[in-house]
Structure 1
Amino acid sequence: MDRTKIRRPRLFTWYRVLPLAAVLIMGLVAFCYSFAPGLLFKSLYPFSYEEEIVASATRHGVDPYLVAAVIRTESSWDASAVSSKGACGLMQLMPETASDMVAKGFVDGEAYDASNLTDPATNIEFGCAYLSYLITYFKGETDRAIAAYNAGMGNVDQWLGEHTVLHNAITFPETQTYLARVNNARERYRQIYPNAFV
């Protein structure tokens, strides 16, 4: 018997190495995403306007990390952002919403101009007021407030009328994604900037 003709399978042939390499790379990415130091993620989760966020969040009793998460999700920290529907600034507020916050007494209309929503301090003030209003309306249920920030209070009320668990009730894929993105960003900001609001 000719031994040169017997071929044994090699452990490290290309069709075995590629899947192993892919699994290894995905594992490293997942590990880094979960446990990497904050420096790695600071570029993904930028942070600005600390003083404005602290002042407005404190005044309205809102978690400043939630404010940072909404800003990142809504505008990616672009103070001049304007949506196709007319939402403006860092927290993407509609001018009507800002005017409503003045009318309801949540924001001092003389100190903050509802028509100047591209000004970071003004936008953050109105955004914090609106978040506070939504959180109070939904009796402290932050997830409901976040969903309403995206989809409107009427939609959230309707969903809750049909199902008691918000995540199961939301019928807008955009709002489901929005809620997950804001909550994820909120946790990331807490991890990366643990002393930002001390």
Structure 2
Amino acid sequence: MLLCLGLTGVVGLSQLSKLNGAVRELTLPLNHASVVRQQARAKDLDPYLIAAVIYAETKFNPRPSSAGAEGLMQILPSTALFIAKKSGGTAFVPTDLGDPQVNIRYGSWYLRYLLQRYDGDTTLAVASYNAGMGNVDKWVASAKADGHGLRVDEIPFPETKAYVERVLSAKSDYEAKYSKELSVR
């Protein structure tokens, strides 16, 4: 009887491993890994951060938002026009945001821009990606007036606080589960 239980455990573990792989792909998807890696290299960004933002925005299943954001990284056409002007993009039209390569390129450029604006602070950059620079600038100023930097638990917009937590958690998950697929080395 003990042998049967042991054999069942081995077969069960094998099947469990396959099931875990399938669940990972469903719950933590990764599409366009080569584009993510390429843009991470080109923009000197963490590829896991790019993947985490895509996950938080669309779970790699793009659909227009009620706010009008487009593509995998849910970029507003007005933000894309800002990016096009700042980055030297030529002949940009909003429908380009439906192209994963364009969308990831623009979203990655914007993440790099926000990281530079906030001195490499990932939390502030991600909060700004969601709530806008104006809001984050106000929150940072308020936190500085209180004698410290902005902490995640002090973000006044519940949606943005949850978004930052979701991105940071997904970043760790992507690092753990897709190190080979997203490695830029």
Q: TM-score range by the shorter chain?
A: 0.7 to 0.9
More helix, by proportion: 2
In structure 1, distance between residues paired with 2:174 and 2:89: 29
Identity over aligned residues, as a percent? Answer: 37
Aligned to 1:94: 76
1:159 maps to 2:142:
no
Aligned to 1:146: 126
Structure with greater Cα Rg = 1
Supply the AA of the counterpart residue of 1:184: S
Aligned to 1:179: 164
1:45 maps to 2:33:
no
Report deviation, 1:37: 6.1
1:118 maps to 2:98:
yes
Counterparts of 1:1-198 in structure 2, within 5 Å, are 40-79=23-62, 81-104=63-86, 106=87, 108-109=89-90, 113-163=93-143, 164-198=149-183
Contact 1:74/1:92, CA 8 A, preserved across alignment? yes
How many residues align? The count is 161
Report deviation, 1:42: 2.8
**RMSD across aligned C-alpha pairs, in angstroms?**
2.0
Report deviation, 1:38: 5.6
1:71-110 residue CA offsets vs partner (Å, 9 max, x unmatched) = 111011123x101110000000001111111111x25325
Evaluate the alpha carbon distance shift between residue 89 and residue 161 of structure 1 in structure 2; reply closer, same or farther with a 3 A threshold. Answer: same
TM superposition score normalised by structure 1: 0.75
TM superposition score normalised by structure 2: 0.80
Q: Which structure 1 residue ranges, 5 or more long, are not aligned?
A: 1-35
Evaluate the alpha carbon distance shift between residue 82 and residue 74 of structure 1 in structure 2; reply closer, same or farther with a 3 A threshold. Answer: same
Report deviation, 1:153: 0.7
Contact 1:160/1:166, CA 8 A, preserved across alignment? no
